[in-house]
Amino acid sequence: MKEDKMLYTVKEVSSTLGVNVHIVYDLIKKGLLPAMKLGSLKVRKQTLELFLEKYEGMDLTDLNNISELNSIA
């Protein structure tokens, strides 16, 4: 991510996280990753950093059943 950039598109967030854009849309839809609409959905850099801190060590495979990551499978 560029240091001076404040807002990221869903595509940029998905690239940064290394996941499919559909997962980012699901995170936003579930309210786990707050976003705003400015032409298209955007996520603030600080929001993305807070999301990563909050869910570190968690298994987000099933967004309806988020749990602690017990072991690496």
Ordered alpha helix ranges (H), the chain: 10-17, 21-29, 45-54
Per-residue model confidence as pLDDT tens for the chain (73 residues):
556 899 999 999 999 999 999 999 999 999 999 999 999 999 999 999 999 999 999 999 999 999 999 866 5
Decide if 59 contacts 69 (C-beta within 8 A): yes
Domains and CATH numbers, the chain: 7-68 (1.10.1660)
Tell whether pTM > 0.85. Answer: yes
